[in-house]
């Protein structure tokens, strides 16, 4: 009988024998007798067994998901906890593609630009599984409980603006449970570089810079080339970097050379430290269509700003804020939002920060610091005294209004003020503005 040779092991010194069911046991007995138990060999077997078990469990869980989804789909869907896997793609370092921020999702990758095109990733098996779980409401398997999405109710699909073609297609995809979407991605986040002009106290990429080269030029180039195919469609390009968008040559050039007449359905949104938005730069990029801009400042005083935003200069920031203020007054931005990552060094400046934003006609957005960062994170270390002091700072009625969003900090706000905190579209902040009826209505 012909023996099928799959793997070979060394059974006798100098001689190789194929493993078959018949000789496997003899072989093992021989080795145990001769060498004692060959631990490495047994370990390999156990690892293989474990891997196969994990595969089996995954396979069974996917089969269950498919059956559950097939049954549920017949009723149709009227709401979804989050639209991100139906609308957006986020490009991060190393070519990885996700649907949302790494801190808010358990699905850390839906593909890699190294191996696949945007089109393949958009309707690939990972993202389809994510969409199915969301439609079934299985968010525990896909999302972190701290995701700001969970501070608002699920999106009713009636909120989708079906007066635009993209909205109508998306509505129909979701309503019918068509998880292989007809609609193309509508919102792209370019967070695939760590290049930055600052080195902020609490910023992960800033500290990894120098040790880890987050920018793989080939992947970034491939992403940009692939993205161009979408420029004639109605899309939003969200420029964040994982560093700063204007510190990156490629995104600077993209903004400067973008043909806004030819590609007039493309809108930009920007998350930046703002410092490089000086008058000369703004002149070169202001021709584009912008939706909103979010400027991370983290302070209300020069001293705190220059301590946290290491490498930054307060006077330069003030000049940049004037650029944003003027641009907003001219109607170039629907919203200008300034951002504070709340930590030990800045929490006492919250009221002053909000006042500063109001003085310029901007909104304020406050979030909690993540990670340890030299004793800055008093939330994580559960520093009761400082948390109490934060609560006292937040017991100031002048802070509140519909121009302030506090996301996870809401829990430190006195109950009587919570109703005055307004979600100024956070739900849809990362959803293209034209997709939401409320956004379109509020603009008109
Ligand atoms: C990584 S930055 C990239 C965009 C831009 N350079 C900026 O500063 O806004 C994006 C946002 O993450 C915030 N951030 C950085 N480190 C953080 C941390 N440890 N915890 C929470 N937010 C953080 C920044 O304040 C900023 O608002
Ligand atoms: S400006 Fe943004 S990316 Fe740069 S170091 Fe600061 S937080 Fe990080």
Asked if pLDDT for residue 6 goes beyond 50, the answer is no
Residue 443 reports pLDDT greater than 70: no
Q: Looking at 98-107, 167-176, 201-210, which range is the least confident one? A: 201-210
Q: When comparing pLDDT for 63 and 424, which is higher?
A: 63
Contact call for residues 123 and 181 (beta carbons, < 8 A): yes
Q: What is the pLDDT of residue 14?
A: 41
pLDDT at 24 over 60: no
Contact (CB, 8 A) for 337 and 294: yes
- Lowest average pLDDT, out of 35-44, 117-126, 332-341, 427-436, goes to 35-44
For residue 4, pLDDT beyond 60: no
Q: How far apart are CA 230 and CA 441, in angstroms?
A: 26
**Closest to 395 (Cα-Cα) out of 366, 376, 415:** 415
Q: Which residues pair with 271 in a beta bridge?
A: 294
pLDDT at 259: 96
The answer to whether residue 294 scores a pLDDT higher than 80 is: yes
What lines the ligand 1 site, CB under 6 Å? 196, 202-203, 205, 240-244, 271-273, 296, 339, 341, 369-371, 373
Angle at 114 between CA 110 and CA 119, to 5 degrees: 55
* More confident call, 211 vs 203: 203
- Per the prediction, the chain carries an average pLDDT of 85
pLDDT the model gives residue 36 = 55
Of 101-115, 230-244, 305-319, 408-422, give the lowest mean pLDDT range.
408-422
Confidence of residue 436 (pLDDT cuts 50, 70, 90): confident
pLDDT > 60? residue 267: yes
The pLDDT value recorded for residue 407 is: 79
Q: Which of 74-78, 345-349, 410-414 has the highest mean pLDDT?
A: 345-349
| pLDDT at residue number 210 | 46
Index of the ligand 1 atom closest to the CA of residue 298? 25
More confident of the two residues 50 and 353 = 353
Mean pLDDT for 328-336 is: 94
Rounded to the nearest whole angstrom, what is the distance from the C-alpha of residue 203 to the centroid of ligand 1?
A: 6
Predicted local distance difference test score (pLDDT) of residue 5: 42
Average pLDDT rounded to a whole number, residues 303-319: 97
| Each residue's pLDDT tens digit, 338-360 | 999 999 999 999 999 999 999 99
Least confident of 81-95, 206-220, 382-396: 206-220
H or E element at residue 241: none
Residue 273 Cβ inside 6 Å of ligand 2? The answer reads yes
Cα gap 389→381, rounded to integer Å: 15
Which of 86-95 are b and which e, b meaning 16 or more Cβ less than 10 Å from the residue's Cβ? bbbbbbbbbb
Q: How many A from CA of 47 to the centre of ligand 1?
A: 40
Task: Provide the 3-class DSSP secondary structure of residue 302.
Answer: helix
Q: What is the pLDDT of residue 33?
A: 55
Q: Is 369 in the pocket of ligand 2 (CB under 6 A)?
A: no
Q: Which of 296, 364, 358, 360 is nearest to 328 (CA)?
A: 360
- Tens-place pLDDT, residues 376-391: 999 999 999 999 999 9
* pLDDT more than 90, % of the chain: 59
Residue 244 in contact with ligand 2 by CB distance below 6 A: yes
Nearest-CA residue for ligand 2 atom 8 is 203
Nearest to 59, CA basis, from 43, 96, 67: 67
Which among 318, 311, 305 is positioned nearest to 345, based on CA atoms? 305
Ligand 1 mutation pick, 296, 312, 381, max ligand atoms within 8 A of CB: 296
Q: What is the pLDDT of residues 132-187, one digit of tens each?
A: 999 999 999 899 887 777 666 667 888 888 999 999 999 999 999 999 999 999 99
Atom of ligand 2 nearest to the CA of 273: 1
């Amino acid at each position: 009988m012909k023996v099928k040779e799959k793997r070979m092991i060394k059974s006798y010194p100098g001689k190789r024998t194929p493993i078959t069911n018949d000789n496997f046991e003899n072989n093992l007995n021989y080795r145990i007798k001769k060498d004692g138990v060959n631990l490495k060999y047994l370990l390999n077997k156990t690892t293989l067994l474990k891997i196969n078990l994990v595969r089996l469990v995954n396979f069974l869980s996917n089969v269950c998901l498919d059956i559950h989804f097939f049954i549920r789909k017949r009723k149709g869907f009227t709401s979804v906890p989050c639209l991100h896997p139906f609308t957006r793609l986020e490009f991060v370092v190393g070519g990885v593609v996700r649907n949302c921020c790494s801190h808010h999702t358990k699905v850390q990758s839906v593909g890699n630009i190294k191996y696949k095109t945007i089109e393949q990733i958009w309707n690939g098996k990972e993202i389809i599984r994510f969409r199915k779980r969301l439609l079934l409401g299985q968010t525990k398997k896909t999302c972190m409980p701290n995701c700001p999405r969970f501070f608002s109710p699920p999106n009713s699909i009636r909120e989708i603006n079906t007066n635009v073609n993209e909205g109508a297609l998306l509505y129909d995809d979701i309503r019918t449970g068509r998880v292989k979407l007809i609609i193309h991605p509508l919102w792209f986040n370019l967070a695939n570089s760590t290049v930055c002009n600052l080195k902020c106290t609490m910023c992960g990429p800033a500290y990894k810079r120098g040790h880890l080269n987050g920018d793989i030029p080939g992947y970034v180039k491939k992403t940009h080339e692939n993205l161009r195919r979408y420029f004639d469609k109605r899309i939003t390009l969200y420029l964040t970097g994982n560093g700063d968008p204007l510190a990156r040559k490629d995104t600077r050039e993209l903004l400067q050379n973008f043909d806004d007449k030819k590609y007039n359905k493309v809108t930009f949104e920007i998350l930046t430290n703002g410092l490089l938005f000086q008058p000369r730069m703004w002149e070169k990029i202001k021709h584009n269509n912008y939706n909103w801009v979010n400027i991370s400042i983290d302070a209300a005083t020069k001293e705190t700003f220059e301590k946290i935003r290491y490498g930054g200069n307060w006077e330069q920031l003030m000049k940049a804020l004037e650029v944003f203020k003027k641009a907003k007054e001219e109607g170039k931005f629907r919203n200008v939002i300034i951002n504070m990552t709340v930590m030990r060094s800045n929490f006492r400046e919250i009221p002053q920060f909000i006042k500063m934003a109001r003085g310029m006609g901007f909104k304020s957005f406050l979030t909690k610091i993540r990670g340890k960062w030299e004793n800055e994170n008093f939330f994580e270390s559960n520093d009761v005294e400082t948390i109490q002091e934060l609560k006292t700072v937040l017991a100031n009625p002048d802070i509140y209004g519909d121009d302030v969003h506090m996301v996870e900090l809401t829990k430190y706000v006195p109950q009587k003020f919570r109703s005055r905190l307004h979600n100024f579209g956070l739900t849809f902040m990362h959803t293209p503005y034209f997709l939401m009826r409320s956004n379109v209505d509020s603009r008109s």
